[in-house]
Structure 1
Amino acid sequence: MYDHKLYVQTLSDFIRTLVRPYDVDSLLNDLALRIADVLHLSGAGVSLEQEGKLRMVTVIPSHLAALEKYQENHQDGPSVEAFRDSRVSLIPDVEYTRNRWPEYVELARASGTSSIAVLPLALDERAFGTLSLYADRRDWPEDDVAAASLMADMATGYLINASTHHQQNELNDQLSHALESRVVIEQAKGIIAESRGLSVSQAFELIRRHARSHNVKVRDLSEAIVDMGLRI
Protein backbone atom coordinates (compact mmCIF):
# COMPACT_ATOMS: atom_id res chain seq x y z
CA MET A 1 0.00 0.00 0.00
CA TYR A 2 1.38 3.39 -0.93
CA ASP A 3 2.14 6.11 1.63
CA HIS A 4 -0.96 8.31 1.26
CA LYS A 5 0.37 11.25 3.30
CA LEU A 6 3.62 11.35 1.32
CA TYR A 7 1.64 10.93 -1.90
CA VAL A 8 -0.51 13.98 -1.19
CA GLN A 9 2.57 16.03 -0.30
CA THR A 10 4.30 14.92 -3.49
CA LEU A 11 1.33 15.90 -5.65
CA SER A 12 1.22 19.28 -3.91
CA ASP A 13 4.93 19.84 -4.59
CA PHE A 14 4.56 18.94 -8.27
CA ILE A 15 1.55 21.23 -8.70
CA ARG A 16 3.50 24.16 -7.24
CA THR A 17 6.37 23.40 -9.60
CA LEU A 18 4.11 23.71 -12.62
CA VAL A 19 3.59 27.44 -12.06
CA ARG A 20 7.32 28.16 -11.77
CA PRO A 21 10.13 27.87 -14.30
CA TYR A 22 11.42 24.30 -14.38
CA ASP A 23 13.71 22.09 -16.39
CA VAL A 24 12.63 18.67 -17.58
CA ASP A 25 15.64 16.66 -16.39
CA SER A 26 15.41 17.84 -12.76
CA LEU A 27 11.69 17.21 -12.71
CA LEU A 28 12.07 13.65 -14.01
CA ASN A 29 14.79 12.92 -11.47
CA ASP A 30 12.42 14.10 -8.76
CA LEU A 31 9.64 11.96 -10.21
CA ALA A 32 11.71 8.78 -10.01
CA LEU A 33 12.83 9.55 -6.44
CA ARG A 34 9.39 10.50 -5.17
CA ILE A 35 7.48 7.61 -6.69
CA ALA A 36 9.99 5.10 -5.30
CA ASP A 37 9.43 6.57 -1.83
CA VAL A 38 5.65 6.81 -2.13
CA LEU A 39 5.17 3.22 -3.31
CA HIS A 40 7.99 1.72 -1.22
CA LEU A 41 9.76 0.49 -4.35
CA SER A 42 13.33 -0.68 -4.79
CA GLY A 43 13.67 1.86 -7.60
CA ALA A 44 12.17 3.73 -10.54
CA GLY A 45 13.30 4.96 -13.93
CA VAL A 46 12.21 7.33 -16.68
CA SER A 47 12.92 6.99 -20.38
CA LEU A 48 11.89 9.41 -23.14
CA GLU A 49 11.34 9.15 -26.85
CA GLN A 50 14.05 10.62 -29.03
CA GLU A 51 13.91 10.26 -32.80
CA GLY A 52 11.47 7.37 -32.50
CA LYS A 53 13.52 5.42 -29.96
CA LEU A 54 13.27 5.09 -26.20
CA ARG A 55 16.25 6.58 -24.34
CA MET A 56 17.00 6.36 -20.64
CA VAL A 57 16.93 9.66 -18.75
CA THR A 58 17.21 8.65 -15.11
CA VAL A 59 16.99 5.62 -12.86
CA ILE A 60 17.11 5.37 -9.06
CA PRO A 61 19.18 3.66 -7.67
CA SER A 62 21.99 3.50 -10.17
CA HIS A 63 22.46 -0.29 -10.15
CA LEU A 64 19.13 -0.57 -11.98
CA ALA A 65 20.56 1.36 -14.93
CA ALA A 66 21.48 -1.94 -16.61
CA LEU A 67 17.79 -2.71 -17.08
CA GLU A 68 17.07 0.64 -18.72
CA LYS A 69 20.25 0.58 -20.81
CA TYR A 70 19.50 -2.92 -22.12
CA GLN A 71 16.19 -1.68 -23.47
CA GLU A 72 17.76 1.47 -24.88
CA ASN A 73 20.44 -0.52 -26.69
CA HIS A 74 18.15 -3.28 -27.99
CA GLN A 75 14.90 -1.29 -28.28
CA ASP A 76 13.16 -4.27 -26.76
CA GLY A 77 11.73 -5.13 -23.36
CA PRO A 78 8.72 -4.20 -21.21
CA SER A 79 9.39 -0.44 -21.32
CA VAL A 80 9.75 -0.39 -25.09
CA GLU A 81 6.61 -2.48 -25.46
CA ALA A 82 4.60 -0.21 -23.14
CA PHE A 83 5.89 2.81 -25.04
CA ARG A 84 5.03 1.43 -28.47
CA ASP A 85 1.58 0.20 -27.41
CA SER A 86 0.92 3.20 -25.13
CA ARG A 87 -0.40 0.92 -22.39
CA VAL A 88 0.46 -0.11 -18.84
CA SER A 89 2.53 -3.28 -18.45
CA LEU A 90 2.38 -5.11 -15.08
CA ILE A 91 4.83 -7.94 -14.44
CA PRO A 92 4.47 -9.49 -10.95
CA ASP A 93 7.29 -11.95 -11.68
CA VAL A 94 9.89 -11.36 -14.40
CA GLU A 95 10.21 -15.12 -14.84
CA TYR A 96 6.93 -14.94 -16.76
CA THR A 97 8.77 -13.05 -19.50
CA ARG A 98 11.90 -15.22 -19.73
CA ASN A 99 10.91 -16.72 -23.08
CA ARG A 100 10.56 -13.24 -24.57
CA TRP A 101 13.48 -11.41 -22.94
CA PRO A 102 15.91 -13.94 -21.42
CA GLU A 103 18.85 -11.50 -21.18
CA TYR A 104 16.65 -8.84 -19.63
CA VAL A 105 15.34 -11.31 -17.04
CA GLU A 106 18.89 -12.26 -16.08
CA LEU A 107 19.76 -8.58 -15.58
CA ALA A 108 16.63 -8.11 -13.48
CA ARG A 109 17.50 -11.08 -11.28
CA ALA A 110 21.07 -9.87 -10.88
CA SER A 111 19.78 -6.50 -9.70
CA GLY A 112 17.44 -8.05 -7.14
CA THR A 113 14.35 -7.13 -9.15
CA SER A 114 11.48 -9.59 -9.34
CA SER A 115 8.56 -7.34 -10.21
CA ILE A 116 8.30 -4.58 -12.81
CA ALA A 117 5.57 -2.20 -13.87
CA VAL A 118 5.80 0.23 -16.78
CA LEU A 119 3.47 3.17 -17.33
CA PRO A 120 3.55 5.16 -20.57
CA LEU A 121 3.95 8.92 -20.36
CA ALA A 122 1.25 9.48 -22.91
CA LEU A 123 -1.69 11.61 -23.96
CA ASP A 124 -4.35 9.83 -26.00
CA GLU A 125 -2.31 7.70 -28.41
CA ARG A 126 0.86 9.83 -28.36
CA ALA A 127 3.54 8.44 -26.04
CA PHE A 128 6.42 10.66 -24.91
CA GLY A 129 8.23 8.06 -22.81
CA THR A 130 7.79 5.63 -19.92
CA LEU A 131 7.90 5.45 -16.14
CA SER A 132 9.31 2.13 -14.91
CA LEU A 133 8.73 0.81 -11.38
CA TYR A 134 10.97 -1.82 -9.82
CA ALA A 135 10.31 -3.98 -6.76
CA ASP A 136 11.60 -7.11 -5.07
CA ARG A 137 8.17 -8.73 -5.02
CA ARG A 138 4.97 -6.91 -5.87
CA ASP A 139 1.58 -7.99 -7.19
CA TRP A 140 0.92 -4.39 -8.30
CA PRO A 141 -2.36 -3.75 -6.47
CA GLU A 142 -4.88 -1.52 -8.18
CA ASP A 143 -4.43 1.37 -5.72
CA ASP A 144 -0.66 1.46 -6.28
CA VAL A 145 -1.07 1.43 -10.06
CA ALA A 146 -3.68 4.20 -9.87
CA ALA A 147 -1.39 6.36 -7.72
CA ALA A 148 1.55 5.78 -10.07
CA SER A 149 -0.62 6.49 -13.12
CA LEU A 150 -1.63 9.88 -11.77
CA MET A 151 2.02 10.79 -11.23
CA ALA A 152 2.83 9.59 -14.75
CA ASP A 153 0.00 11.73 -16.11
CA MET A 154 1.36 14.75 -14.24
CA ALA A 155 4.80 14.18 -15.72
CA THR A 156 3.23 13.97 -19.17
CA GLY A 157 1.51 17.27 -18.46
CA TYR A 158 4.87 18.87 -17.72
CA LEU A 159 6.25 17.63 -21.01
CA ILE A 160 3.24 18.92 -22.93
CA ASN A 161 3.37 22.23 -21.05
CA ALA A 162 7.00 22.60 -22.06
CA SER A 163 6.01 21.94 -25.66
CA THR A 164 3.17 24.43 -25.53
CA HIS A 165 5.26 27.25 -24.11
CA HIS A 166 8.59 26.67 -25.76
CA GLN A 167 7.64 25.11 -29.09
CA GLN A 168 8.46 21.59 -30.17
CA ASN A 169 12.08 22.24 -31.12
CA GLU A 170 12.83 23.65 -27.67
CA LEU A 171 11.20 20.63 -26.03
CA ASN A 172 13.46 18.39 -28.10
CA ASP A 173 16.45 20.40 -26.88
CA GLN A 174 15.31 19.91 -23.28
CA LEU A 175 14.89 16.16 -23.78
CA SER A 176 18.37 15.96 -25.30
CA HIS A 177 19.65 18.02 -22.39
CA ALA A 178 18.01 15.56 -19.98
CA LEU A 179 19.75 12.64 -21.67
CA GLU A 180 23.12 14.42 -21.54
CA SER A 181 22.57 15.35 -17.89
CA ARG A 182 22.40 11.67 -17.00
CA VAL A 183 26.10 11.24 -17.77
CA VAL A 184 27.44 14.16 -15.71
CA ILE A 185 25.09 13.42 -12.79
CA GLU A 186 26.23 9.80 -12.69
CA GLN A 187 29.86 10.95 -12.68
CA ALA A 188 29.21 13.40 -9.85
CA LYS A 189 27.43 10.73 -7.82
CA GLY A 190 30.43 8.45 -8.13
CA ILE A 191 32.88 11.19 -7.14
CA ILE A 192 30.91 12.21 -4.05
CA ALA A 193 30.26 8.60 -3.07
CA GLU A 194 33.99 7.89 -3.11
CA SER A 195 35.07 11.10 -1.40
CA ARG A 196 32.46 10.88 1.36
CA GLY A 197 32.39 7.12 1.81
CA LEU A 198 28.71 6.94 0.86
CA SER A 199 26.61 4.69 -1.32
CA VAL A 200 25.79 6.05 -4.77
CA SER A 201 22.16 6.60 -3.73
CA GLN A 202 23.24 8.49 -0.60
CA ALA A 203 25.62 10.59 -2.68
CA PHE A 204 22.84 11.57 -5.06
CA GLU A 205 20.55 12.53 -2.19
CA LEU A 206 23.35 14.73 -0.79
CA ILE A 207 23.83 16.40 -4.20
CA ARG A 208 20.08 16.90 -4.54
CA ARG A 209 19.72 18.48 -1.07
CA HIS A 210 22.72 20.73 -1.65
CA ALA A 211 21.34 21.90 -5.00
CA ARG A 212 17.95 22.70 -3.48
CA SER A 213 19.38 24.53 -0.48
CA HIS A 214 21.57 26.68 -2.76
CA ASN A 215 18.88 27.18 -5.42
CA VAL A 216 20.92 25.63 -8.24
CA LYS A 217 20.13 22.88 -10.71
CA VAL A 218 21.31 19.34 -10.02
CA ARG A 219 23.08 19.29 -13.38
CA ASP A 220 24.92 22.59 -12.74
CA LEU A 221 26.10 21.37 -9.35
CA SER A 222 27.14 18.03 -10.88
CA GLU A 223 29.17 19.83 -13.56
CA ALA A 224 30.95 21.83 -10.84
CA ILE A 225 31.77 18.59 -9.02
CA VAL A 226 33.07 16.89 -12.16
CA ASP A 227 34.74 19.78 -13.99
CA MET A 228 35.80 22.16 -11.19
CA GLY A 229 36.58 19.75 -8.36
CA LEU A 230 33.81 21.07 -6.07
CA ARG A 231 33.20 18.92 -3.01
CA ILE A 232 30.14 19.11 -0.77
Structure 2
Amino acid sequence: MTREEHLLAAVIDAVDTLVDDFDLIDFLHTLCDRCAELLDVSAVGVMLEDPQGNLQLIAASDEHTRLLELFALQHDEGPCVECHRSGTVRLNIDLSSPVETGPFPLFAARAQKAGFVVTHALPMRLREAVIGALNLFDTRPQSLSAADARVAQALADVATIAILQHRTVAYANQQRAQMHAALTSRVTIEQAKGILAERWGTSVDEAFDALRRHARSHQLGLTQLCRQLIDGHLDSNSIAHA
Protein backbone atom coordinates (compact mmCIF):
# COMPACT_ATOMS: atom_id res chain seq x y z
CA MET A 1 0.00 0.00 0.00
CA THR A 2 1.12 3.55 -0.70
CA ARG A 3 1.39 6.16 2.06
CA GLU A 4 -1.83 7.78 0.88
CA GLU A 5 -3.63 4.42 0.96
CA HIS A 6 -2.41 3.80 4.52
CA LEU A 7 -3.72 7.21 5.57
CA LEU A 8 -7.06 6.56 3.90
CA ALA A 9 -7.27 3.19 5.64
CA ALA A 10 -6.67 4.88 8.99
CA VAL A 11 -9.51 7.33 8.33
CA ILE A 12 -11.81 4.48 7.29
CA ASP A 13 -10.94 2.66 10.52
CA ALA A 14 -12.04 5.74 12.44
CA VAL A 15 -15.32 6.02 10.53
CA ASP A 16 -16.04 2.40 11.46
CA THR A 17 -16.63 3.52 15.05
CA LEU A 18 -20.18 4.26 13.91
CA VAL A 19 -20.99 0.58 13.32
CA ASP A 20 -22.66 -1.49 16.03
CA ASP A 21 -19.92 -4.10 16.39
CA PHE A 22 -17.06 -1.60 16.73
CA ASP A 23 -14.20 -3.02 18.81
CA LEU A 24 -12.23 -0.23 20.50
CA ILE A 25 -9.27 -2.42 21.47
CA ASP A 26 -8.89 -3.81 17.97
CA PHE A 27 -9.16 -0.28 16.55
CA LEU A 28 -6.32 0.97 18.76
CA HIS A 29 -4.10 -2.00 17.97
CA THR A 30 -4.74 -1.29 14.30
CA LEU A 31 -3.81 2.34 14.97
CA CYS A 32 -0.47 1.13 16.37
CA ASP A 33 0.12 -0.86 13.19
CA ARG A 34 -0.81 2.09 10.96
CA CYS A 35 1.54 4.41 12.83
CA ALA A 36 4.44 1.96 12.62
CA GLU A 37 3.89 1.54 8.86
CA LEU A 38 3.35 5.20 8.01
CA LEU A 39 5.99 6.74 10.26
CA ASP A 40 8.62 4.03 9.97
CA VAL A 41 9.01 3.67 13.74
CA SER A 42 9.82 0.50 15.65
CA ALA A 43 6.97 0.43 18.15
CA VAL A 44 3.82 2.29 19.20
CA GLY A 45 1.79 2.52 22.40
CA VAL A 46 -1.57 4.10 23.22
CA MET A 47 -2.66 5.27 26.65
CA LEU A 48 -6.15 6.55 27.49
CA GLU A 49 -7.83 8.11 30.49
CA ASP A 50 -10.20 5.93 32.49
CA PRO A 51 -13.45 7.42 33.92
CA GLN A 52 -11.52 8.54 37.02
CA GLY A 53 -9.01 10.47 34.91
CA ASN A 54 -6.17 8.00 35.44
CA LEU A 55 -4.01 7.02 32.48
CA GLN A 56 -4.23 3.37 31.41
CA LEU A 57 -2.36 1.39 28.78
CA ILE A 58 -4.85 0.24 26.15
CA ALA A 59 -2.77 -0.96 23.19
CA ALA A 60 0.84 -1.59 22.22
CA SER A 61 2.45 -2.91 19.08
CA ASP A 62 4.50 -5.56 20.90
CA GLU A 63 5.17 -7.08 24.31
CA HIS A 64 8.36 -5.07 24.98
CA THR A 65 6.47 -1.85 24.41
CA ARG A 66 3.54 -2.99 26.54
CA LEU A 67 5.85 -3.74 29.47
CA LEU A 68 7.67 -0.44 29.01
CA GLU A 69 4.42 1.53 29.02
CA LEU A 70 3.23 -0.33 32.10
CA PHE A 71 6.53 0.56 33.75
CA ALA A 72 5.84 4.22 32.92
CA LEU A 73 2.41 4.05 34.56
CA GLN A 74 3.71 2.24 37.64
CA HIS A 75 6.40 4.88 38.17
CA ASP A 76 4.19 7.75 36.97
CA GLU A 77 6.82 9.05 34.60
CA GLY A 78 7.64 9.01 30.92
CA PRO A 79 6.91 11.05 27.81
CA CYS A 80 3.36 9.73 27.51
CA VAL A 81 2.58 10.61 31.12
CA GLU A 82 4.07 14.10 30.69
CA CYS A 83 2.29 14.58 27.36
CA HIS A 84 -1.07 13.65 28.87
CA ARG A 85 -0.57 16.09 31.74
CA SER A 86 0.57 19.02 29.63
CA GLY A 87 -1.35 18.33 26.42
CA THR A 88 1.76 19.24 24.44
CA VAL A 89 3.70 17.20 21.91
CA ARG A 90 7.26 15.99 22.58
CA LEU A 91 9.24 14.89 19.52
CA ASN A 92 12.68 13.40 18.92
CA ILE A 93 13.50 12.70 22.55
CA ASP A 94 17.01 11.26 22.75
CA LEU A 95 16.70 8.58 25.43
CA SER A 96 20.46 8.74 26.13
CA SER A 97 20.35 12.47 26.88
CA PRO A 98 20.09 13.32 30.61
CA VAL A 99 18.82 16.77 29.65
CA GLU A 100 15.98 15.58 27.42
CA THR A 101 14.97 12.75 29.77
CA GLY A 102 15.39 14.73 32.98
CA PRO A 103 11.74 14.39 34.06
CA PHE A 104 11.74 10.61 33.50
CA PRO A 105 15.18 9.07 34.13
CA LEU A 106 13.86 5.67 35.23
CA PHE A 107 11.73 5.37 32.12
CA ALA A 108 14.61 6.42 29.87
CA ALA A 109 16.89 3.77 31.35
CA ARG A 110 14.21 1.10 30.99
CA ALA A 111 13.49 2.16 27.38
CA GLN A 112 17.18 1.95 26.46
CA LYS A 113 17.38 -1.47 28.05
CA ALA A 114 14.51 -2.49 25.76
CA GLY A 115 16.58 -1.34 22.76
CA PHE A 116 14.96 2.03 22.05
CA VAL A 117 17.02 5.15 21.43
CA VAL A 118 14.42 7.74 20.38
CA THR A 119 10.82 8.35 21.46
CA HIS A 120 7.99 10.74 20.65
CA ALA A 121 4.79 11.55 22.53
CA LEU A 122 1.70 13.14 21.00
CA PRO A 123 -1.46 14.18 22.87
CA MET A 124 -4.79 12.64 21.95
CA ARG A 125 -6.92 15.72 22.35
CA LEU A 126 -9.96 17.50 21.00
CA ARG A 127 -9.93 21.20 21.79
CA GLU A 128 -9.22 21.38 25.55
CA ALA A 129 -10.00 17.73 26.30
CA VAL A 130 -6.92 15.49 26.48
CA ILE A 131 -8.06 11.87 26.65
CA GLY A 132 -4.69 10.13 26.30
CA ALA A 133 -1.37 10.03 24.49
CA LEU A 134 0.27 8.26 21.56
CA ASN A 135 3.86 7.10 22.13
CA LEU A 136 6.25 6.27 19.28
CA PHE A 137 9.53 4.42 19.79
CA ASP A 138 12.50 3.78 17.53
CA THR A 139 15.49 1.51 17.85
CA ARG A 140 17.35 3.68 15.32
CA PRO A 141 18.75 7.17 16.00
CA GLN A 142 16.54 8.89 13.47
CA SER A 143 14.37 11.98 13.88
CA LEU A 144 10.74 12.39 12.96
CA SER A 145 10.47 14.86 10.12
CA ALA A 146 8.07 17.79 10.23
CA ALA A 147 5.88 16.06 7.64
CA ASP A 148 5.85 12.82 9.63
CA ALA A 149 5.07 14.75 12.80
CA ARG A 150 1.99 16.21 11.10
CA VAL A 151 0.93 12.73 9.99
CA ALA A 152 1.44 11.38 13.50
CA GLN A 153 -0.65 14.15 15.05
CA ALA A 154 -3.31 13.68 12.39
CA LEU A 155 -3.54 9.98 13.26
CA ALA A 156 -3.76 10.84 16.96
CA ASP A 157 -6.50 13.39 16.23
CA VAL A 158 -8.48 10.99 14.06
CA ALA A 159 -8.22 8.32 16.76
CA THR A 160 -9.36 10.82 19.40
CA ILE A 161 -12.43 11.77 17.41
CA ALA A 162 -13.21 8.09 16.81
CA ILE A 163 -12.91 7.27 20.51
CA LEU A 164 -15.06 10.21 21.59
CA GLN A 165 -17.63 9.31 18.94
CA HIS A 166 -17.66 5.73 20.22
CA ARG A 167 -18.20 6.97 23.78
CA THR A 168 -21.06 9.19 22.64
CA VAL A 169 -22.75 6.29 20.84
CA ALA A 170 -22.17 3.97 23.81
CA TYR A 171 -23.62 6.57 26.20
CA ALA A 172 -26.64 7.09 23.95
CA ASN A 173 -27.19 3.32 23.78
CA GLN A 174 -26.91 3.11 27.56
CA GLN A 175 -29.45 5.90 27.95
CA ARG A 176 -31.82 4.16 25.55
CA ALA A 177 -31.39 0.88 27.42
CA GLN A 178 -32.12 2.62 30.72
CA MET A 179 -35.22 4.26 29.28
CA HIS A 180 -36.41 0.94 27.84
CA ALA A 181 -35.88 -0.73 31.22
CA ALA A 182 -37.77 2.07 32.94
CA LEU A 183 -40.72 1.76 30.56
CA THR A 184 -40.77 -2.01 30.98
CA SER A 185 -40.72 -1.60 34.77
CA ARG A 186 -43.53 0.93 34.56
CA VAL A 187 -45.74 -1.54 32.66
CA THR A 188 -44.97 -4.29 35.18
CA ILE A 189 -45.83 -2.03 38.12
CA GLU A 190 -49.08 -0.89 36.51
CA GLN A 191 -50.11 -4.50 35.94
CA ALA A 192 -49.34 -5.46 39.54
CA LYS A 193 -51.25 -2.44 40.88
CA GLY A 194 -54.28 -3.45 38.84
CA ILE A 195 -54.11 -7.08 39.96
CA LEU A 196 -53.82 -6.19 43.64
CA ALA A 197 -56.52 -3.50 43.48
CA GLU A 198 -58.92 -5.97 41.86
CA ARG A 199 -58.21 -8.72 44.42
CA TRP A 200 -58.59 -6.38 47.34
CA GLY A 201 -61.48 -4.39 45.88
CA THR A 202 -59.57 -1.21 46.65
CA SER A 203 -58.15 1.73 44.73
CA VAL A 204 -55.10 1.51 42.55
CA ASP A 205 -53.35 4.12 44.70
CA GLU A 206 -53.90 2.09 47.88
CA ALA A 207 -52.62 -1.03 46.12
CA PHE A 208 -49.52 0.85 44.97
CA ASP A 209 -48.80 2.15 48.47
CA ALA A 210 -49.07 -1.38 49.83
CA LEU A 211 -46.68 -2.70 47.19
CA ARG A 212 -44.14 -0.02 47.98
CA ARG A 213 -44.33 -0.65 51.72
CA HIS A 214 -43.94 -4.39 51.21
CA ALA A 215 -40.96 -3.93 48.89
CA ARG A 216 -39.21 -1.65 51.37
CA SER A 217 -39.88 -3.79 54.43
CA HIS A 218 -38.62 -6.90 52.64
CA GLN A 219 -35.70 -5.12 50.93
CA LEU A 220 -36.97 -5.99 47.47
CA GLY A 221 -36.94 -3.94 44.29
CA LEU A 222 -40.41 -2.66 43.48
CA THR A 223 -40.28 -4.02 39.94
CA GLN A 224 -39.03 -7.38 41.23
CA LEU A 225 -41.90 -7.57 43.72
CA CYS A 226 -44.47 -6.68 41.08
CA ARG A 227 -43.08 -9.32 38.71
CA GLN A 228 -43.41 -11.94 41.46
CA LEU A 229 -47.04 -10.94 42.00
CA ILE A 230 -47.82 -11.09 38.27
CA ASP A 231 -46.10 -14.46 37.84
CA GLY A 232 -47.97 -15.95 40.83
CA HIS A 233 -44.80 -16.40 42.91
CA LEU A 234 -46.10 -13.99 45.56
CA ASP A 235 -49.34 -14.49 47.48
CA SER A 236 -51.20 -11.19 47.62
CA ASN A 237 -52.42 -12.14 51.13
CA SER A 238 -48.82 -11.77 52.35
CA ILE A 239 -48.96 -8.06 51.51
CA ALA A 240 -50.16 -5.96 54.42
CA HIS A 241 -53.21 -3.72 53.86
CA ALA A 242 -53.00 -0.09 54.80
Q: What TM-score, normalized to structure 2?
A: 0.64
Show the counterpart of 1:109. Answer: 112
% identical equivalent positions:
26
- 5 Å-filtered alignment, 1:110-149, equals 110-136=113-139, 137-149=141-153
- 5 Å-filtered alignment, 1:26-175, equals 26-50=26-50, 51-96=52-97, 97-136=100-139, 137-167=141-171
Does the 8 Å contact 2:94/2:101 carry over to 1?
Answer: no
One-letter amino acid of the counterpart of residue 156, structure 2: A
Which segments of 5 or more consecutive residues in structure 1 lack a partner in the other structure?
171-232
Q: Which whole-Å CA distance do the structure 1 matches of 2:164 and 2:67 have between them?
A: 28
Kindly provide the CA deviation profile for residues 75-114 of structure 1, in whole angstroms up to 9, marking residues without a partner as x. Answer: 2211011001111111341123343322211111111111
Distance 1:100 1:32, change over 3 A: same
* Number of equivalences: 168
- 5 Å-filtered alignment, 1:172-183, equals none
Q: What TM-score, normalized to structure 1?
A: 0.66
Distance 1:15 1:159, change over 3 A: closer
Q: Which whole-Å CA distance do the structure 2 matches of 1:142 and 1:74 have between them?
A: 31
Q: Which whole-Å CA distance do the structure 2 matches of 1:12 and 1:166 have between them?
A: 20
Q: Which whole-Å CA distance do the structure 2 matches of 1:158 and 1:89 have between them?
A: 23
Q: Which whole-Å CA distance do the structure 2 matches of 1:29 and 1:123 have between them?
A: 21
User: Could you list the runs of 4 or more consecutive aligned residues of structure 1 that deviate by over 3 angstroms after TM superposition?
Assistant: none
Distance 1:116 1:168, change over 3 A: farther
Q: CA deviation at 1:134?
A: 0.7
Q: CA deviation at 1:154?
A: 0.8
Q: Which whole-Å CA distance do the structure 1 matches of 2:11 and 2:81 have between them?
A: 30
Show the counterpart of 1:10. Answer: 9
Does the 8 Å contact 1:92/1:138 carry over to 2?
Answer: no
Q: CA deviation at 1:161?
A: 0.5
Name which one, 1 or 2, has greater alpha-carbon Rg. Answer: 2
One-letter amino acid of the counterpart of residue 46, structure 1: V
Q: CA deviation at 1:12?
A: 4.7
Distance 1:13 1:103, change over 3 A: same
Does the 8 Å contact 1:6/1:38 carry over to 2?
Answer: no
SS at match of 2:96: helix
One-letter amino acid of the counterpart of residue 38, structure 2: V
Q: Which whole-Å CA distance do the structure 2 matches of 1:168 and 1:133 have between them?
A: 33
Q: CA deviation at 1:38?
A: 1.4
Q: Which whole-Å CA distance do the structure 2 matches of 1:66 and 1:54 have between them?
A: 15
Q: Which whole-Å CA distance do the structure 2 matches of 1:169 and 1:95 have between them?
A: 48
One-letter amino acid of the counterpart of residue 20, structure 1: V
Kindly provide the CA deviation profile for residues 182-215 of structure 1, in whole angstroms up to 9, marking residues without a partner as x. Answer: xxxxxxxxxxxxxxxxxxxxxxxxxxxxxxxxxx
Distance 1:49 1:169, change over 3 A: farther
Q: Which whole-Å CA distance do the structure 2 matches of 1:94 and 1:147 have between them?
A: 22
Q: Which whole-Å CA distance do the structure 2 matches of 1:159 and 1:107 have between them?
A: 30
One-letter amino acid of the counterpart of residue 89, structure 2: V
SS at match of 1:95: coil
Does the 8 Å contact 1:92/1:140 carry over to 2?
Answer: no
Q: Which whole-Å CA distance do the structure 2 matches of 1:108 and 1:160 have between them?
A: 30
Which segments of 5 or more consecutive residues in structure 2 lack a partner in the other structure?
175-242
